[in-house]
Structure 1
Amino acid sequence: MATELLQIDSPELRFVFELKKQSSALVQLGNNTDHYIAFKVKTTSPKKYCVRPNIGIVKPNEKCDFTVTMQAQRIAPPDMHCKDKFLIQSTVVPFGTTEADITYDMFAKDSGKFIEEKKLRVVLISPTSSPVLLPVNGYMKQDPSYEIDAQKDRVPSGVENIPPLRTVSEEVKGLEPIQHEKEDRAEGDIVPRQTENVVDTKPAKDDVQMNLVNESEELKSKLSTMDSKLREAALTITNLNEERRRNMEEKDLLKKELEVLKRALNTKGTQGGFPFLFVCMVALVSVAVGYYIHP
């Protein structure tokens, strides 16, 4: 295309570097076209940086910001030279496209679509030189009058350990997408890249560890509650079994007592005088004799 899809306010990401402290930089993208533009941010050091958001949509004649946060570092690089780089890919998408509609295939070069790529390098600034920066909304905005020695900050070629790719320039080889990007491509279409030394960006290590500790404590609490309920259930089952055993014993005792009573009644019936049938027969004979005697 004859015109640029996105304009970037600065070709560099400047961070005020202090040991064991995070630093952030704000990047502004401008869309001067009449199209919807989708963008995606990649980096050569995903474990070191966190990008929010790393994908997005810039509407026609509007601007969009994203923030890059460098995690706290324990060791300063030699001479404050940083070899990290960022790549911003952009492409035209249909009118009305949202961030939820962005897929990995939109930025695939083999799709035949025009993909614009712009590279940003990282520049570290020591706190002693921070007067040339102006704080804006918690970030450091660069003074326009400040000039960078391009020859001093230039990264030597051949030191990034980035594997060659046939479809991109030597300056952006080996860049991998950040972990938080939304990829809707089918699993079978993804080609593993075992030779690349870059992986997706992740949240701060301390935050991840804190989340793991909280989840572990929550699981322990749930397990303790379940164990207490199981013990209560076992005790209830034991009590019910004991009650059932006592009821069975009482039932057997009542049966025995009933049999004793039945035997006692039968014994009394046989020992208490003549049987009832004998008495009836004697009565009938007496009636017959009386009838014949006194007709």
Structure 2
Amino acid sequence: MMTTELLQIEPAELRFIFELKKQTSCFLQLANTTHHYIAFKVKTTSPKKYCVRPNIGIINPNQKCDFSVTMQAQRTAPPDMQCKDKFLIQSTVVPFGTTEDHITSDMFAKDNGKYVEEKKLRVVLSYPPSAPLLPVNGGMKHDPSNEINAQKDRVPSGVENIPPPRRVSEEVKGLEPAQDTKEGRADEVIVPRQVENAHHSHMKLAKDGVELDIANEYEELKSKLSIMDSKLREAEVTINMLNEERRRNTREKDLLKKELELLKRNINTKGVQSGFPSLFVCMVGLISVAVGYYIHP
């Protein structure tokens, strides 16, 4: 059984900036501090609500792996912004040469004494820097920016029409009056502008997050295409080798056929030439008869 921690997870929880009808993402990092090859798999209690990229992978010894978790746009906010969703990260040791294509659910089954490390992560929701009105427990959450805008748009009437230089309230007694300069007039609208700038900054952060997701997806697709291209090249090389071997076998087969035909011809030729020709036998017989006739008249 393993005594050391297989993977270190940073951060230890998933934090999302929650906005209604907007997609949001967060990023985590898995660190393999061992000398083993580690396979991991990410699970969640709400698979239709989240998108994890990548949700499986292999981490080499003393290497790190980043993955993103994207929450789909939600129409309603959870009560008190408390999310009950959970994530589970399983990890186990795999042999050298294992790839993502070899990862199956059986790898993370705790059978035959196999060690599988499991770590649970909770989901934490937070408001954006300039949070709008959100329903909380049937009511509406107070948004300071709305109060500022309401005070700005309020039209003075009755006693409040008294010019400010002639009116001194109890709240400002003891403070020095501000000079009527361009800088002083600019201070009157600095709070609404700060709210507006905060909103724009949040919009920019959300846009940057979406662009980062697109960039990560592009890099992932690019890596998959490069892997497929390398596999295609290997397949082409293998096919060429098989075709060359087939042509070589065909040539050797043709040579063997020619040698067999030549051997058959040689055998037939030797069979015809073996023994004495019939003419030679006849001549020898006639000569033998003539010699016998002269010897025994």
Normalising by the smaller structure, the TM-score range is 0.3 to 0.5
Greater helix content: 2
The two structures have a TM-score, normalised by structure 1, of: 0.44
The two structures have a TM-score, normalised by structure 2, of: 0.44
Task: Report which structure shows greater RCO (CA 8 Å, sep ≥6).
Answer: 1
